[in-house]
Structure formats: C-alpha cells, structure tokens
Structure 1
C-alpha cells in the first residue's frame, strides 16, 4: 500500500508545472531548479527550461527525476515539453507531449491547429478532439501564464486550459501575502488558490520578481510540494 501511495504521489506531482520569463514583450530563456517533496520527505528534482525556437515560438520543458527514497528505487521520472507561440504578450500552446515513468509508462500528446481552431489529445486510453479557445495553454504552461497575469496586477485570473476532453476555464485568486522560506531564499509572496475546484492547490508567487511560483503544492494524489532552489537567465 505504501508503495502504491508513493507512486501515485509522484505521478500526481509530475503534472505540476512551474515557469518563468522576463517581464518584456518577449520571454527570456531561463533554467530553474525545484526540490520535489511529499509531506516533508525529499522525492526528486525538477528542472524547468525555456528556450527560443525563433519566429516567435518557444519550447518550455519540465523534467522531473526521482532522486530519493522509493522514487529513486522505481526510477520514476517525467518529461513534459510544450511548444508555444507568443501571441498578444502571452503563450498559446501549439504542441504538448508528456511522458511519466513509474512502474508503468503514461503518455499524452496535444496538438493545436490554430487554422481550424481544433485540439486533438491522445493518451494511453484513446483520443479526443474539441474546439480551441484564444489564449489556450496546457497543464505544463498554466503556471507560466498565471504568473504573467499576476505581474500585470491581476488578483483574479481565468485561464483556458486544454485538458483531455475539453477546454477548462480555470479560475485562480490571490488570497493574500505570506512569508515563504524555500532553498532559494525568503520571500514575501502572494498565495494563489484555484477557485473553481475543490482540489487543494496553492502557489506562492513574487510577481514583481519572477512570473513563476517560488513554491507550489497540491493535495490531489499525494500532497506534493515544489520549492525553488535556483534560477538563472542569460
């Protein structure tokens, strides 16, 4: 039972996406590293990178590796890669691929055809198609889009997030400020929660410094927490 619960916990946490960019008309490449833990026990490390592909397109990559405890024993890891276009000073997903390995392999791909405004999603259980929405992001780039909105002063943000069968209009609200201590330092951060779901989700942003969470946690599937360790940008 403990093995099953820890495996579910790591898989759930692999979907947590963190992100960053410069506060400019175009994003700036970066590398950010996060510690992944469950109920205070270290489980792994996440490396987030953003790079330019040219012509207003970018690649956002989130690689998580199990480095401690059962996660290391199982060789658990994930790879989430999004290719997005920069449109109206915000990201719009073009393709998204996800692969999670922990006992078994789970895969998902998303392709957005902006000419026909159609989204196609495929995973181990089959394929679905639905109509895209302007400003569509995926679960990998959601935190990035949220951070940009917070930097612009928004206290309540609605994001069109493409999931398996539809676009979810996910709603997030700033609940106040808290002092957060993470490996990267101590921050006076804005705590953001999801307002349209009963699934526990908390992210702490310092929007005038980073459009990325310095800490993010969710109870869905295992009480996983990501904490910023270091950040670098050319």
Structure 2
C-alpha cells in the first residue's frame, strides 16, 4: 500500500470520527414504505426495514419491486441488505449484499473483517482493499446521514465502501423546503452531496424519521423515492 493510500484512508477515518463519534446512536427497528418514480411516473415500491440481528449487530434492508412498465412485465426487482454494528457511536458496515434482477441478475457481496479489510465479490472472483473506521456502504449511507442530522449536525463526511476503494463522501444541509409526499406534507431539511457532481438530494425530518421523506438521485437511473408510511416496531 502506498503512503498516499494510507494517508487517504487515515484522513477518511478521522473525518468520519469527527462527524459521527459523538452521536451515541441507539438504533430502533422500523419499516418504511416508499413510492418509486422515474420521470414523474410511478414505477415501483420500496420497503426499508431495520431489525436487530443480535450480538450488537443490525440488519438494514432495501427491497424494491417494479409495479409499472416494462420492468414490471419482466418482474424486475432489487434487494440491498447491510449488516452493521455501532462502533464508537456510529454505524459501521460488516456485510453488504446486493441483488438486482432484470434482464439478467447482478450480485455484489462485501465483507469487512476485524482488521477493516474489505473483500468484494461480484461473481468474477474476490478483490480486496483496506477499509476505514466508520466506513459504511451505499445502502447504509442515507440512514447514517439521518442519524447525524438527528444529533443536530448540518454536515457529515462518510467513508463509503465502493467497488475498488474507500470513497470519502460529503453531505450538507443546504436549506429547508415544504415537501409533499404520500405520507404527508413536511418542513424538511434538504441535504445534498457536495464532493462531486453526482446529483443526490434528500429531504429529512430528522426528529421524526431517521430516513428521508424524499430522495432524488440521478446516479443509477434518475429515481425519486417518496415516503408512503413509516412504522416503528420491536
């Protein structure tokens, strides 16, 4: 590993700790349902769930099923599941699995060992790289942001495990908007990703929900999710 790589990982870890270590997150199980839109048209439904896995671990799942258009005719669906722990008050990914069923099936399996070594396998053989403290994956990131906002912070830097490395992603509250979704009308905090041009906007009511009431992301299909219902549970 080069000095530059070690330095980047160390900085990512320090930034993560400075942003999240004081949160003292206490996860609470929930089920949230969303309407999925593309180009303003409803094309599916998403269900987000958080459950205890025992032993200090939690499982966070995002299941999307198509309900309209060609995708529905093909039975298209996707599932992302993250097992994580709370480390020094912040969520940290242990295992991530993704499965997308459409024209063909795509999978991704990610494991993080006790030394924060990341192993990724997309069906063509595993690859590895060094992880970082406080590292999450793309599925867990929106929930981690919600917990940061609930703690009263306006900015968060997250080390995120992507395909070949740890990517330092930065998010910031950029304003407040009235947001109308199937679950109701909310005065929500607008959060945008600020470290690159991949459009990500999410609207949170952090003292009410840890997940966004609305999320719009152009990277990966130009999709919008709107909250239908949220239910806490044991």
TM-score range, shorter chain: 0.7 to 0.9
1:51 aligns with 2:51: yes
Any residues of structure 2 matched to 1:128-207 within 5 Å, and which?
128-207=127-206
- Does the CA contact (< 8 Å) of 1:60 and 1:82 recur in 2? yes
1:122 aligns with 2:103: no
Q: How far apart are 1:127 and its partner, in Å?
A: 2.9
Q: 1:169 to 1:25 in 2, by over 3 A?
A: closer
How many Å separate the matches in 2 of 1:41 and 1:164?
30
TM-score for the superposition, normalised by structure 2: 0.86
Q: How far apart are 1:28 and its partner, in Å?
A: 1.2
Gaps of 5+ in 1: 1-22
Q: How far apart are 1:128 and its partner, in Å?
A: 2.1
- Does the CA contact (< 8 Å) of 2:25 and 2:86 recur in 1? no
**What is residue 66 of structure 1 aligned with on the other side?**
66
- Does the CA contact (< 8 Å) of 2:95 and 2:111 recur in 1? yes
TM-score for the superposition, normalised by structure 1: 0.86
SS in 2 for 1:213: coil
How many Å separate the matches in 1 of 2:191 and 2:100?
27
- Does the CA contact (< 8 Å) of 2:62 and 2:139 recur in 1? yes
**What is residue 227 of structure 1 aligned with on the other side?**
226
How many Å separate the matches in 2 of 1:132 and 1:223?
29
Q: CA RMSD in A?
A: 1.4
SS in 2 for 1:32: strand
**What is residue 30 of structure 1 aligned with on the other side?**
30
Range with greater deviation from structure 2 (170-179 or 116-125)? 116-125
How many Å separate the matches in 1 of 2:100 and 2:148?
29
- Does the CA contact (< 8 Å) of 1:34 and 1:46 recur in 2? yes
Q: 1:24 to 1:150 in 2, by over 3 A?
A: same
Q: How far apart are 1:149 and its partner, in Å?
A: 0.8
SS in 1 for 2:177: strand
How many Å separate the matches in 1 of 2:91 and 2:123?
27
- Does the CA contact (< 8 Å) of 1:205 and 1:213 recur in 2? yes
How many Å separate the matches in 2 of 1:24 and 1:149?
10
**What is residue 9 of structure 1 aligned with on the other side?**
none
- Does the CA contact (< 8 Å) of 2:25 and 2:147 recur in 1? no
Q: How far apart are 1:43 and its partner, in Å?
A: 0.6
- Does the CA contact (< 8 Å) of 1:128 and 1:164 recur in 2? no
Gaps of 5+ in 2: 1-22
- What is the count of residue pairs matched by the alignment? 211
